[in-house]
Chain A
């Protein structure tokens, strides 16, 4: 309990080092000096013990304080809120990125497939409409198988035969501003396919209305290929050999409107013609008295005499 050697220079020196000794901040040599003194000096040894005891009591007391869990949670929430990106936490973000990757790959696949289908569909449309375009070009434009002055309707009806004669009226009615110069059954060189061909003139150009039996040719399904519709009849469109062609289907026939008029005009004209023509053709196909197209004679690439 007594202070011993309190004023000795050694004690004074050691006590100056005591704080650093307690904090383990002394050099190795100084530490051994202090230790040597402490072994022999009870007062300094007690002093160190007292200081150590205070420090330990302080550590224990501070450690007894419990950090509030709500604060930890609050910090966690605020930190999570500051995580950049749209997906909140980064783990979710990683998953979202992976998911997005998968979606992108799947979408790319689907889009590629759809694109291939679309291209195939367009190709089918073009190949079907090419039938009408080729007949228009060969028979009407190159063959010039029409008179300058329209043939009389009776003659045209006769050329068309009883099965198709009725269609003349439909074409005349539904093509205002156009004059039907010629109507006949014809075919294109190199193909046995027969066409019911109306050659008309109007708006400063020649326009063909052409009908042919489907014979396995089919316009593709799907709204992506349909360029317009009228009276529940889908219209298809293609630009081929400088001509705009619009096409439609009936039960057994394919119908075409071909001219060098604009795409929109061609579609508009086809829109007027398609529903009544389809109705007439469908009614005709139900009729038992109808004649087969094959029974008519025809001249290849030329009008019927």
Chain B
């Protein structure tokens, strides 16, 4: 923790140096543009980071990083997309430490086309916490695309830019991520006592 603090403070010093040459920038202007996206950023970080402390560190770093490069940000452009881009940039730094690449490759595998799960019985009144638990079970590489597309409603292009991925990869990861989420939710549904339709293939058995 001490090492992390030191790292943040170093960045802090760099930010001050950078801002020294851009004295016209006002922190109020930055906050007015960037802080409305704080809840969305935090929610996303919270679902992608390993724990709440890491999520908070992440969001804090995103804001300091964004403020540092605020002079490069053009007003009128999409501040939210810009912040998410920084978030994913930081997230990838964090993720290198996680070293989960092996698992990711295993899951990426060959594309399984259409969602062949018909009528997965997702309960109407499923609890939020169950949805979030199900989401956390989806590997992070897919989870993040689902979050960006389905919750934050970014376009494929914006996601591809934010995550520095090819458009095709975004599309396949989204498709796969949605499917994995539905499988997880089907598992929750099962625990609720809801079973899939008899003729329909069971979740996870498709493809």
A3 vs B64: C-alpha distance when bound (angstroms): 52
**B171 and A19: CB pair below 8 A?**
yes
Task: Say how far B196's CB is from chain A's closest CB, in angstroms.
Answer: 9
**B23 and A85: CB pair below 8 A?**
yes
Q: Give the secondary structure class of A's interface.
A: helix
A91 vs B32: C-alpha distance when bound (angstroms): 14
- Taking a contact as CB atoms closer than 8 A, the residue among A2, A43, A65 that contacts B46 in the complex is A65
B28 within 8 A of A: yes
A117 within 8 A of B: no
**A54 and B185: CB pair below 8 A?**
yes
**B46 and A50: CB pair below 8 A?**
no
A286 within 8 A of B: no
A80 within 8 A of B: yes
- Taking a contact as CB atoms closer than 8 A, the residue among A12, A23, A74 that contacts B149 in the complex is A23
Task: Say how far A112's CB is from chain B's closest CB, in angstroms.
Answer: 30
**A62 and B151: CB pair below 8 A?**
yes
B140 within 8 A of A: no
A20 vs B175: C-alpha distance when bound (angstroms): 9
Q: Which residues of chain B are near A22, meaning CB under 8 Å?
A: 150, 178
A208 vs B3: C-alpha distance when bound (angstroms): 82
A25 within 8 A of B: yes
**A51 and B38: CB pair below 8 A?**
no
A6 within 8 A of B: yes
Interface string of B166-192 (1 = CB under 8 A from A): 000001001100100110010000000
Interface string of B123-141 (1 = CB under 8 A from A): 0101011011001000000
Sorting the interface of chain B by its residue count into under 10, 10 to 19, 20 to 34 or 35 or more gives 35 or more
**B67 and A79: CB pair below 8 A?**
yes
In the complex, what residue of chain B is closest to A66 when comparing beta carbons? B39
- Taking a contact as CB atoms closer than 8 A, the residue among A3, A54, A55, A82 that contacts B118 in the complex is A3
Q: Which residues of chain A are near B122, meaning CB under 8 Å?
A: 50, 53-54, 57
B91 within 8 A of A: no
Chain A, range 55-89, C-beta contacts under 8 Å to B: 55, 57-68, 71-72, 74-76, 78-85, 89
Known interface pairs A50-B182, A54-B185. Does A74 touch B60 (Cβ–Cβ under 8 Å)?
yes
A36 within 8 A of B: no
A75 vs B22: C-alpha distance when bound (angstroms): 20
In the complex, what residue of chain A is closest to B128 when comparing beta carbons? A61
Task: Say how far A46's CB is from chain B's closest CB, in angstroms.
Answer: 6
Q: Which residues of chain A are near B164, meaning CB under 8 Å?
A: none
Q: Which residues of chain B are near A12, meaning CB under 8 Å?
A: 113-114
Interface string of A1-31 (1 = CB under 8 A from B): 1110010000010011011101101000000
A14 vs B44: C-alpha distance when bound (angstroms): 30
A58 vs B185: C-alpha distance when bound (angstroms): 10
- Taking a contact as CB atoms closer than 8 A, the residue among A16, A51, A78 that contacts B178 in the complex is A51
Task: Say how far A176's CB is from chain B's closest CB, in angstroms.
Answer: 65
A90 within 8 A of B: yes
- Taking a contact as CB atoms closer than 8 A, the residue among A16, A58, A83, A91 that contacts B150 in the complex is A58
B92 within 8 A of A: no
A18 vs B174: C-alpha distance when bound (angstroms): 11
Known interface pairs A23-B156, A63-B43. Does A6 touch B118 (Cβ–Cβ under 8 Å)?
yes
A169 within 8 A of B: no
Interface string of A186-226 (1 = CB under 8 A from B): 00000000000000000000000000000000000000000
A264 within 8 A of B: no
Can you name 23 A-B residue pairings with CB atoms under 8 Å?
Answer: A1-B200, A2-B199, A2-B200, A3-B197, A12-B114, A15-B114, A23-B174, A50-B122, A55-B150, A58-B135, A61-B128, A61-B132, A62-B132, A63-B151, A65-B47, A67-B38, A75-B59, A76-B31, A78-B12, A78-B63, A79-B67, A82-B27, A84-B22
Question: Can you list the 8 inter-chain pairs with the closest CB atoms, starting with the nearest?
Answer: A15-B114, A61-B131, A61-B128, A67-B42, A90-B26, A67-B39, A1-B197, A64-B128
A residues adjacent to B (C-beta < 8 A): 1-3, 6, 12, 15-16, 18-20, 22-23, 25, 43, 46-47, 50-51, 53-55, 57-68, 71-72, 74-76, 78-85, 89-91
